Chains A and B, each alone.
Chain A
């Protein structure tokens, strides 16, 4: 289907870039171009957030749409015998690292590597029954020690390496779907708004460092001063191993969150919009920290009424993150209608 193809193409492009928390420059560069054709003004701020401002007609209040552009990864902590020791940046899942291909981002360019794992033939039965510990894992660059020391420095970032492909008819899988899929939703929403009138000003905020501190969301929201904020992120799709109450169904549209992090009127309005336009959605109950930029947006300055739309994905924080392309399109349509129908005098 044509829209799915656009969504897939954008997803493949954005997941193909590397932006570990703290080094989001490649995403900033690509998104600057993507935003430029969709908004009136683009700027960046001191922490590295990227903002795209689309004016409303006539001028109305301001809506913030936030999606983080960083991904989880690793950072080099030590060079030992030509191999690299590392630490995690954000909640990378150690269990999926052994035998995983990675890319080390050095000052001189990117180097391919593999996370080294000792073969089971040499391990005792006790060791084989437990997951690999951090101290047992290294990155192998296939180079001699002297060459490694010449090219790699402590502090260099490392991203997971995985090509994004389609899975079946409706899905796509790859690394950093969290949160590139939401950035695609952001761009597709702006595409729809090219042909829809809206009174509210829309500020698209691609945040940095969500995976470590929500730092981009705090500082970005502070400078935008929105009247309402909506975060776009991912959530747990049901899958074998995830109980019904721990995740949401996928291929049923975006998850509209409810809970203390979410303003009830903002949520209601999203639900009404979905129902009015017959866009499927699922409900997501979050009793506490949403684990997203919404947590930061809500408490910036004197507080911001906040909503959260999440794409259900499987295998979160692994190189096998999988998303439903149709859900991405549904979310973009929902958001576009929501924005277009915001009256200039609406308050939550």
Chain B
């Protein structure tokens, strides 16, 4: 299955912070309505896209929920000051050190702005101080039409950079793009693709979506940390760009199901797809909420390594995206052989995947 870069480009350029994912949802709805067997949205804004099972060997077929979140980290306007500058806060985790001097877009019209920074020439004693977000303001040249609550996103255009792709919000628009590609066909298992909302402020959409879908197993698609820069002491780069999809074993939100991980590893090996393990203990994903839904859902996380997530310009490797799509496709074909009843209990010792 070829990977269509154009959808990733459109998704990366689209603007949607937690709670205001409308533009992203519209894009995905438009792309998927022609192929979905059923499609609906819930009160929080989660988008559910169903593909009924086809050619299944088990009845009823396994129901697999695949989640990717639509929201990106950004900011929100608190107020417009008397001098026309904009006071704001982050929505989702943002390192304040990367904000000064950066260009942003505000509100539904995408009004341009610049994060003000006190010129370095005037700093004597404070060169080592990091101004917190509370002290930062955005300059829009006094533009009209900005209101409290308006979303603020980085002003970055998707484009190739070296052998990689550069864009904002790869966490998690790359997950959305892979999911949209997966949903183009049916599998021997029932697939419910959920484009979730508000992951960045507490996995909110996923919690609700998992209850609604009540899947047997869940897979989460993410854009994750790649910290593969040169450094003095390198315990682990977390993941590395260009080494294939990263499988999570454990992060700060969940301990992932080792049977599912084993199935993914076996699938990757059987088809010559490169893969790596994400350094345990870093970050959190929608799986954190999904695996605790109802009576529990065995879950796994597959991620595309991205440098500089939660920053204006992230980088990822096109090959990693293609391999992630290939791995997920083959894994879903394999999951179609799985008996749902097997996944309702978890023995003390991880079971090998069914033959």
Task: Identify the A interface with B (CB < 8 A).
Answer: 80-81, 83, 91, 93, 95-96, 98-101, 111-114, 116-122, 128-132, 138, 140-144, 147, 162, 165-171, 173, 236, 239-242, 246, 291, 314-320, 322
Number of interface residues of B (CB under 8 A): 57
The distance in angstroms between the C-alpha atoms of A131 and B101, with both chains bound, is 14
- Can you pick out 21 interface pairs between chain A and chain B where the beta carbons lie within 8 Å of each other? A91-B121, A98-B97, A100-B312, A101-B313, A112-B161, A114-B308, A117-B97, A117-B311, A119-B227, A119-B309, A128-B97, A130-B128, A143-B163, A167-B112, A240-B81, A315-B101, A315-B119, A317-B121, A319-B101, A319-B102, A320-B116
Which of B142, B164, B225, B307 contacts A116 (CB under 8 A)?
A: B307
Secondary structure of the B side of the interface? loop
The distance in angstroms between the C-alpha atoms of A145 and B130, with both chains bound, is 33
Which of B118, B142, B163 contacts A242 (CB under 8 A)?
A: B118
In contact, B85 and A317 (Cβ under 8 angstroms): no
The distance in angstroms between the C-alpha atoms of A98 and B100, with both chains bound, is 10
In contact, A322 and B139 (Cβ under 8 angstroms): yes
In contact, B225 and A320 (Cβ under 8 angstroms): no
Given the interface pairs A117-B98, A167-B141, A167-B143, the reply to whether A320 lies near B117 with Cβ below 8 Å is yes
The minimal Cβ–Cβ distance linking A214 to chain B, given in whole angstroms, is 16
Which of A80, A170, A239, A320 contacts B230 (CB under 8 A)?
A: A80
The distance in angstroms between the C-alpha atoms of A166 and B142, with both chains bound, is 11
In contact, A114 and B166 (Cβ under 8 angstroms): yes
In contact, B120 and A91 (Cβ under 8 angstroms): yes
The minimal Cβ–Cβ distance linking B120 to chain A, given in whole angstroms, is 4
Contact residues in A for B135 (Cβ distance below 8 Å):
241
Interface status of B95 (Cβ within 8 A of chain A): yes
Which of A83, A129, A142, A315 contacts B117 (CB under 8 A)?
A: A315
In contact, B102 and A99 (Cβ under 8 angstroms): yes
In contact, B116 and A93 (Cβ under 8 angstroms): no
In contact, A138 and B230 (Cβ under 8 angstroms): yes
Known contacts A119-B95, A128-B97, A315-B101; can you find 19 more A-B pairs with CB under 8 A?
A81-B229, A93-B120, A99-B308, A99-B313, A101-B166, A114-B308, A120-B95, A120-B310, A142-B163, A143-B163, A162-B103, A167-B113, A167-B139, A240-B137, A317-B120, A318-B117, A318-B119, A320-B116, A320-B117
In contact, A314 and B313 (Cβ under 8 angstroms): no
In contact, A315 and B230 (Cβ under 8 angstroms): no
In contact, B238 and A96 (Cβ under 8 angstroms): no
Contact residues in A for B120 (Cβ distance below 8 Å):
91, 93, 95, 316-317
Binary CB contact string for chain B from 226 to 254 against chain A (1 if under 8 A, 0 otherwise): 01011100000010000000000000000
In contact, B103 and A319 (Cβ under 8 angstroms): yes
In contact, B225 and A122 (Cβ under 8 angstroms): yes
Contact residues in A for B238 (Cβ distance below 8 Å):
121-122
Chain A residue at minimum C-beta to C-beta distance from B242: A144
Chain A residue at minimum C-beta to C-beta distance from B142: A168
Kindly name the residue among A131, A168, A173 whose own CB sees the greatest number of chain B CB atoms within 10 A: A168
Interface status of B56 (Cβ within 8 A of chain A): no
